[in-house]
Structure 1
C-alpha cells in the first residue's frame, strides 16, 4: 500500500468521523412537537442560543437564556388553535419558564412577557382556555389571560400577609376586569378561621384615605379600638372597619404604626444597654451613605434572630412616617465599653461601631426609577434575584427630612431602638447603580 493510498483512507475516516459527530451534535435532545395539522417543530440548543426548527425548512431564533433548559411542553396558551412552546428550567426553585406564542401569519414565534414578572411554576389547563397561573412563590401567584385584543392581562392574583408580631396570617385573592379594575376581593386565613380582630395598642393610630403615605389624613383612632380587616395592600397597609359613635367606617391603617407609637420614637443614649447608631450619611462628597451599627454596652452578649430595620422620617412640618427597610437576620453582638465612643476636635460625638448592620450608598435604579440600596439576600433567596431594594417609599414628597433608623425584634419584648438623627434632602443625588 502506498503512502498516498494510506493518506486517502485516513482522510476519509477523519471526514466520516467529523460528519457523524456533526449529525449527532445537530440532533436535538428534545422531541418533535405538533404546531398544527401541517406544521411540526423541534427545539434545539446552539452556541447562539435556543432555536425552533419548523418542518417547512424555517429556523426561528428564540432566545439566549441564562438558565439551563430542562424540558419543553406545548400548549395552546392563547387559545388560537396553534400549539405554543413552553420552555422550562429546573435549575433553581421555583421552576422558571419561557413562553413563545406561534404566529401563524409569519410561521414564527414571539416571546410572551409580563412587566416585572418572570414566569415560574406554571399551571396551564384545558378547563380554562386562554388563561394560566404563574406562581411567585409557594403561596402567591398571578393569573393571566388574554383580553379581546389578544393582549396579556392580569385577571387575578393572590397575596400572603404574615406578621408574627400582630399574629396576622392572611391570604387574599384579587380578581380583575379587562380594564384593570377590581372585580372582587376575597380574604381568608390559612386555617379557614374567622379573620382576627386587631386591637389598637398605640395611643393614637393615624388613618389613611388610601394605601400610601401621601394619603395620610388628620383623623386618628384611639387605643383600645377594635379593627376588622377587610383587605390588605402590600406588606404595610390594612383596610379596616371600625365603629365610630353610631356608624361603621372603613379606612386604611399602616402596619408599622400599629406596632410602634410613632410619636414616642426618639433616640436615647443608653450607657448600660443597646444603642443604634447612624453615621453621617453625606460623607462630604454629595453621595448618601446609609451606615448603621448596634453598640452593646450591656453586661451580656446580645443575640437577635428576627430583627428588622425601619426608617423613620420627619418632614419640615414635623409630620412623621415609618416604613420597614429589611430583615437583619441573625445578630450576635459582644459587650463593648462605652468609653470606646469618641469625640472629635469640635466636640461632636464620633461613634465606634459595635456591629455594622449596613454600610452602603443609596443609589438610583434608572429602569425602576427609584432609589435603592444593596442588601445581600443570597443566603435565603434565589441566587439570581436582584439584590437591591427600595430605600424610600413610593410617592414621597420632595423636601428636607430628618432621618433615623429603628431596630425592632419581633421575638423580643424590648422596646424599639431608635438611632440618632441625621438629615437628608429628597430627592437625593441620582448616582446610577451598575448592575453588572
Structure 2
C-alpha cells in the first residue's frame, strides 16, 4: 500500500510522539506522587541533578539538588504539617540511611530544601503519630529531634549526645531542649548505670579554665591539682562545663578534655636515642599546600606495640598560648628496633630520612560541603572513625595567624609519657585546595 506525503507526515508525528512519551516515562525509575488533590510530582535523575516535574497548571520542572550519593528510593510525607506532601529522598549506599528533605511551597509551586546547620538527616524517622515532628538518629543513642511551629517554620525541639571517654572514666548522656527561637531551654545530664553526680578529679598540675566551649574563650583562671569538679554539661567530645568552689563562691566554667589528660605545659620535643621518637616532616610545599607527615621511630632494643594509640595536635600561637586537641586513633602498631644511623644518611650531600612507621602522609584540604579543613584517614583499620573517611584537622574557633605545630602520640595502655614531635610552622588560614 502506498502512503501519501500527508499520511507519512502524520504517521511520523504519531510515532515520534509515542517514542518520545516512552522515553520520557523511562527517564524516571520512581512512581508519580501526589502533592495534594490537584498536583502530582515525578522525580527524575538528570545530568544536572535531581529534578521534580510538577503536573499542575504550569507543568513546572524544579532542580532539587546535585547529590553526591546514589538515590535509592523516595517517600512523601507532610513533613511540616501544612496539608501538602513533601519529598524525602533516601540513599542507602552507606551503613546509615541518608536523606534529603524538600518542602513543597504552595505559593510558588516549588520546593525548598530543609537544611539544618552542621547536620545531615540520617536514619530518619517521620511518624503520623507526631505530625510536624522529625527524628534523625546518628546512632542508637544520639539523635536530633525537629519540630515545626504554627507558621510551618523549623525549630529544633531537642537533641541528644553521648560522651564516652574511657581514659577519664566519663560516660554520660545529655539531652538539650530548645525554645522556638532556637535558644536553649534546658540541659539534662544523665549518667550511665545510675551513677551519682559526675565528679572528676584534676590530676594535672594546673588546669586552664574557659569562659565558653572554644579556644577563643580562654581565661586567665586555673584550678590546681587535686581539685574536684562537678560536670554539669558538655559540648562535643572536647568540652566539659564544670562547677567548682572557689574561696568565696561556686562558679561554672568550661574545661578541655585533652588538657585533663596531659599537662600541656610539659609537652615539648625531646630526642630520645634509646627509645621512641615522633617526627614531623616539613609540611610546606612549593605549591602552598599543607601536608601532614608524621613518622614514629623506635631506637630501643625492643619491639614496640600499641593497640590504643591516639594522635593529638599541639598548636602554639604568637602569644605563647598552647592548644591541644585529638586528631584520630592510630589503631594497631608494631615497630621493630631501628638503628639511628639507618634513619638519616648523607648521600651526595643530601639528607635522607627513613622512618620506621609512617603514621600519616596526607594533604590537609578544604571540604566545601562541610566548610572545614579535613585530612584523609583510613577507616579500614579503625572502626571508631566515622564512615566518612575525612576527619576535621582544625577545631572551631582558631584565630588567623602564625602557629607552631607539633604532633603528640599517646597510648595510656603502654604506660609511656606522651611523645611530642619536633615543631613546624603553620599559617592560618590555609589556602582552600
Number of residue pairs matched?
418
Aligned residue in 1 for 2:334: 332
Aligned residue in 2 for 1:6: none
| Paired residues of 1:60 and 1:109 also in contact (CA < 8 A) | no
1:222 lines up with 2:224 in the alignment:
yes
Q: Distance in 1 between matches of 2:48 and 2:404?
A: 52
Q: Distance in 2 between matches of 1:348 and 1:403?
A: 25
1:330-369 Cα shifts (integer Å, max 9, x gaps): 2222221122243669x99975311111223444556766
1:160 lines up with 2:162 in the alignment:
yes
Q: Would the alpha carbon gap of residues 108 and 290 (structure 1) be closer, same or farther in structure 2, given more than 3 Å must change?
A: closer
| Paired residues of 2:86 and 2:103 also in contact (CA < 8 A) | yes
Q: Which moved more, 1:233-242 or 1:86-95?
A: 86-95
Aligned residue in 2 for 1:389: 392
Deviation at 1:124, TM superposition (A): 1.5
Which TM-score applies when normalising by structure 2? 0.83
Q: Distance in 2 between matches of 1:282 and 1:31?
A: 53
Q: Distance in 2 between matches of 1:400 and 1:65?
A: 37
1:224-267 Cα shifts (integer Å, max 9, x gaps): 11111101112111011122235322111111110001112222
Structural mapping, 1:163-242, within 5 Å? 163-242=165-244
Q: What RMSD, in angstroms, separates the aligned Cα atoms of the two structures?
A: 3.6
SS at match of 1:411: helix
Deviation at 1:314, TM superposition (A): 2.6
Deviation at 1:200, TM superposition (A): 0.9
Aligned residue in 2 for 1:74: 76
Deviation at 1:408, TM superposition (A): 0.7
| Paired residues of 1:312 and 1:322 also in contact (CA < 8 A) | yes
1:291 lines up with 2:293 in the alignment:
yes
SS at match of 1:117: coil
Q: Would the alpha carbon gap of residues 83 and 363 (structure 1) be closer, same or farther in structure 2, given more than 3 Å must change?
A: closer
In structure 1, list runs of 5 or more residues that go unmatched.
2-10
Structural mapping, 1:308-347, within 5 Å? 308-342=310-344
Aligned residue in 2 for 1:8: none
Q: Distance in 1 between matches of 2:350 and 2:207?
A: 36
Q: Which moved more, 1:392-401 or 1:261-270?
A: 392-401
Structural mapping, 1:352-371, within 5 Å? 352-364=354-366, 370-371=372-373
Q: Which moved more, 1:259-268 or 1:132-141?
A: 132-141
Structural mapping, 1:116-135, within 5 Å? 116-135=118-137
Which TM-score applies when normalising by structure 1? 0.82
